Amino acid sequence: YTKIAAIFADSQELSGQEVQIGGWAKTIRDLKTFGFIELNDGSCFKNLQVVFSTEIVANYKEIASQNVGAALEIVGTVVLTPDAKQPLELQAKTVVVAGASSPEYPLQKKRHGVEFLRTIQHLRPRTNLYSATFRVRSVAAMAIHEFFQQKGFTYVHTPIITASDCEGAGEMFRVTTLDPKNPPLLENGDVDYSQDFFGKAANLTVSGQLNAENFAMAFGDVYTFGPTFRAENSNTARHAAEFWMIEPEMAFTDLAGDMDIAEAMIKFIIKRTMERCPDDLAFFNSFVDKGLLERLENVANSDFGRVSYTEAVEILKKNNANFDYPVEWGSDLQTEHERYLTEQVYKKPVFVTDYPKEIKAFYMRLNDDGKTVAATDCLVPGIGEIIGGSQREERLDVLESRIREMGMTTEDYWWYLDLRRYGGCKHAGFGLGFERMVMYLTGVANIRDVLPHPRTVGNADF
Ligand code: 4AD
Ligand code: MG
């Protein structure tokens, strides 16, 4: 089968040639002696116009009576039509109805709201919006691999089931084979996880970072790209319980080097997606987010802002009257603050660095002031935080006391601490939330619409 994308791309060579295609009918028009089918096969945004006529096809009536959504296999000749609205069409020789569709097909030719489409997640990939979104998602994923592979990073698969809590936030989904109604208990009434499958409490990973650090201390530059899970009870447009994260980890790299890689990566993803998905992005630019293309072009070609948390707080405090949560030095930045900084102040992506240690994870490197850590969040207009990263604490004694300070136990992190005992070095990394990147690339405003099958609070259907 030839892909419709290939027919458009190679139209000159394919002109006059016979091809076989398979796809789903978007529209079927019957003009009695001939008819038109607009067929989409998912390979590109465009539909292919297929002409079928009583003179050539044997089953004209069968074809003409098909409903929208029918799966069709068509053999026909590619004909260039430079004077028509579309540059080419297919003149059908045979049309096989692979699977008919019923008149109740929910995706009739009209625009549906995203709320409704979320209730038919099994069919929504066939709409323009989701088709474009998931092509961009696929292309962006490959661009990320390309970026890191070109730079000589090794791709590491980190475990999905783990006993550690990387972010120390306790927002984990437990993985257990114990009977929930009758688990074995310790004398103090706690569940006795030593009797569980793994011999201890295990959960779905919130981040592959700690494992990536193990590999960075052998391979130098590595990255993970996999699903991560958070049982955050945040019902927002930016939080999902299952999301994908890209986590590079780089030996002999400090915070500034970390941000340089993050910035270069985002620009690379944007450029590749603009090159490879022009029709999809044009659709988003017209129907989802006017100004998207111009914004992406600007972001790809200008420097990101960089500001310390302390300076950012000074800027934000001037606007405290307009925030739901006024800011003080020490407060965690809320989405409203992040968006104000990046949308009103910088009007472009900005890295905020050196946050107070109290609001960040245990592994971040303590700065000389003893109060802040070498952390960075990358904020972008329309979304807020898209990346969280840091230089890691490589000093064994400082790391041990940070772990204790946060009420965690050093024994649980013995192997992580070993990295500091055996050839530890300055190193840094970050995590890019992949869905937030896809939102940024498309202008789609809700994370539920960039995940093929979103898992959010109260929702694990499909
Ligand atoms: O800032 P976070 O929590 O950082 C880490 O997990 C580090 N271990 C990363 C590292 O340094 N290797 O998460 C990183 C990014 C966020 O900036 C955000 O884009 C995304 O992951 N993210 C989520 N995306 C969707 N839904 C959620 N619930 C998310 N939580 C974080
Ligand atoms: Mg974060």
Per-residue pLDDT of the chain (462 residues; tens, 9 = 90+): 999 999 999 999 999 999 999 999 999 999 999 999 999 999 999 999 999 999 999 999 999 999 999 999 999 999 999 999 999 999 999 999 999 999 999 998 778 899 999 999 999 999 999 999 999 999 999 999 999 999 999 999 999 999 988 888 779 999 999 999 999 999 999 999 999 999 999 999 999 999 999 999 999 999 999 999 999 988 999 999 999 999 999 999 999 999 999 999 999 999 999 999 999 999 999 999 999 999 999 999 999 999 999 999 999 999 999 999 999 999 999 999 999 999 999 999 999 999 999 999 999 999 999 999 999 999 999 999 999 999 999 999 999 999 999 999 999 999 999 999 999 999 999 999 999 999 999 999 999 999 999 999 999 999
Q: Which of 166, 274, 271 lies closest to 224, judged by CA? A: 166
For 126-171+206-449, CATH number out of 3.30.930.10, 3.40.50.10860, 3.20.20.100, 3.40.50.720 equals 3.30.930.10
ipTM: 0.99
Query: Hey, which of 207, 209, 342, 377 would you mutate to test ligand 1's pocket, going by the most ligand atoms within 8 Å of its Cβ?
Result: 207
| Residue 24 vs residues 40, 54, 74, 453: alpha-carbon distances, Å | 5, 21, 11, 21
Q: Which of 253, 248, 258 lies closest to 353, judged by CA? A: 258
**Do 4-99 and 126-171+206-449 come out as alike in CATH topology?**
no
Does any ligand 1 atom lie closer than 6 A to the CB of residue 362? no
Chain-centroid distance of CA 108 in Å reads 28
The ligand minimizing its distance to the Cα of 432 is 1
> How far apart are the C-alpha atoms of 28 and 421, rounded to whole Å?
69
Taking a C-beta distance cutoff of 8 angstroms, is the pair 265, 144 a contact? yes
**266 C-alpha vs ligand 2 centroid, how far in Å?**
17
| Residue 32 vs residues 29, 71, 205, 241: alpha-carbon distances, Å | 9, 22, 60, 52
Q: What is residue 442's predicted lDDT score, i.e. its pLDDT?
A: 98
Q: What is residue 168's predicted lDDT score, i.e. its pLDDT?
A: 80
Q: What is residue 110's predicted lDDT score, i.e. its pLDDT?
A: 78
Taking a C-beta distance cutoff of 8 angstroms, is the pair 309, 353 a contact? yes
Give residues with Cβ within 8 angstroms of 460, minimum separation 6. none
Q: CB 3: neighbour CB atoms within 10 A?
A: 17
Q: What is residue 370's predicted lDDT score, i.e. its pLDDT?
A: 97
Q: What is residue 443's predicted lDDT score, i.e. its pLDDT?
A: 98
What are the extents of the domains in the chain? Answer: 4-99, 126-171+206-449
Q: What is residue 178's predicted lDDT score, i.e. its pLDDT?
A: 97
The ligand minimizing its distance to the Cα of 429 is 1
Q: What is residue 298's predicted lDDT score, i.e. its pLDDT?
A: 97
The correct answer on CATH 3.40.50.1980 for the domain covering 4-99 is no
β-bridge partners, 30: 35
CA 212 to ligand 1: nearest atom:
12
Read off the tokens for 305: 């802002």
Read off the tokens for 243: 């999301």
**65 C-alpha vs ligand 1 centroid, how far in Å?**
50
Report the DSSP pairing between strands 305-308 and 350-356.
parallel
| Residue 243 vs residues 215, 216, 366, 382: alpha-carbon distances, Å | 22, 23, 29, 19
Q: What is residue 170's predicted lDDT score, i.e. its pLDDT?
A: 78
Burial 437-453 (b: 16+ CB within 10 A, else e): bbbbbbbbbbbbbbbee
Q: What is residue 109's predicted lDDT score, i.e. its pLDDT?
A: 74
The ligand minimizing its distance to the Cα of 387 is 1
